[in-house]
Amino acid sequence: MSNSPTPDKLTVHHLDDSRSIRILWMLEELSVPYELVTYKRMQDMTAPADLKMIHVSGTSPIITEGNLTLSESGAIFLRDKYDTEGKIKPSKEGKLDDLYFLHYSEGTLMPLLANKLIFGVLPDKAPFLLRPMFGIITDLMNTNFLNPRLQTQAGLIEEHLAKSGDWFAGGDHPTAADFMMIFPLESWNYRYPELIGKNAKAFVGRIHERPAYKRAVEKAGGHRFA
């Protein structure tokens, strides 16, 4: 953990290369002042115990502000506290897509990507003699379960972006859906570029070029997927 927060100020507790880039990017788009406390992943990639002292989930993002301590990126966006001028609100027509992709990001996409990552490292973590067997299990999971499902989701995303344009809820500015979708899509593009579609790639590229996103990455001290 680096530096300590001022109790009443909005503070983002950020783990390196994590979903909290979503919150930093949003706050930068809105020019909302915040403090940042950064945490370094352990060697096994899990969060350090310090993060559990902030919120029992021990996962990032966590925000603190006065008496509030909140984890879950979706909840932070649904709380809808910082957009006082409606800069990142969806249009009336885009509202349902905004809600859909906000939930889809963590409810459908992240579990598939997390499983793929876990099964991918399993053979290396297994006891030496069992590694070939774990390799076979990983291959079976990928071929029979994870890759076909990711392919389905890639198709859904391609089709949606072809209709909605630059942003998941349409319109000319990012909304909660985009802040939520950047993390699965940028990590997917980074780890398995052969399994992601061209509209999703272009979405990631567009966001990585935004000055607010770049500021977020700079303040975070870098972001592996950017």
Ligand X SMILES: N[C@@H](CCC(=O)N[C@@H](CS)C(=O)NCC(=O)O)C(=O)O
**Does residue 15 bind ligand X (CB under 6 A)?**
yes
Binding mask 91-130 for ligand X (x = CB under 6 A): ---------------x------------------------
18 binds ligand X per the rule CB under 6 A: yes
* Region for residue 221 given its phi and psi (left: phi exceeds 0; alpha: psi -120 to 50; beta: otherwise): left
Radius of gyration from C-alpha coordinates of the chain: 18
Least distance to ligand X, CB of residue 4, Å: 19
Closest CB to ligand X among residues 181, 196:
181
Query: In whole angstroms, how far apart are CA 63 and each of 44, 50, 73, 115?
Result: 24, 14, 9, 26
Number of residues that bind ligand X (CB under 6 A): 14
Q: Name which of 20 and 153 has its Cβ closer to ligand X.
A: 20
Least CB distance to ligand X at residue 155 (A):
24
> Per CB under 6 A, does 50 bind ligand X?
no
CB pairs under 8 A, 24+ apart, for 190-194?
190/224, 190/225, 191/113, 191/116, 191/117, 192/116, 192/150
145 contacts: CB under 8 Å, gap ≥ 6:
none
**Choice between 88 and 199, CB closer to ligand X:** 88
Q: Distance between the two ends of the chain, CA-based, in angstroms?
A: 22
Beta carbon nearer to ligand X, 78 or 140: 78
The site for ligand X (CB under 6 A) is made up of 15, 18-19, 46-47, 58-61, 71-74, 106
